[in-house]
């Protein structure tokens, strides 16, 4: 499995779609990506991840 990707971006949104955090990277190892959520309140969030070839959405629960 290839661990390095050339393009990667993410957006972390609340359930209303408001973007709370976002970042983009180029030429990064997947093991080096950290999304800090310690200052977010308990609740449900949507994580959108985009690469050069795909887009993924995940529901994230913080408790």
pLDDT over 90 at 4, yes or no = no
For the chain, give the percent of residues with pLDDT over 90: 57
Contacts 24+ apart (CB under 8 A), 37-44: 37/12, 37/62, 40/12, 43/14, 43/15, 44/15
Domain boundaries, the chain: 4-62
In order of 1, 25, 34, 45, the CA distances from 21 in angstroms are 28, 14, 12, 11
Q: Which CATH class is domain 4-62?
A: mainly beta
pLDDT in tens, 9-27: 999 999 999 999 999 988 8
């Amino acid at each position: 499995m290839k661990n390095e990707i050339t393009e990667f971006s993410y957006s972390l949104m609340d359930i209303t779609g408001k973007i709370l955090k976002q970042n983009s990277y180029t030429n990064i190892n997947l093991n080096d990506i950290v999304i800090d959520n310690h200052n977010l309140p308990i609740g449900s969030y949507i994580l959108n991840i985009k690469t050069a070839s795909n887009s993924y959405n995940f529901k994230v629960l913080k408790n």
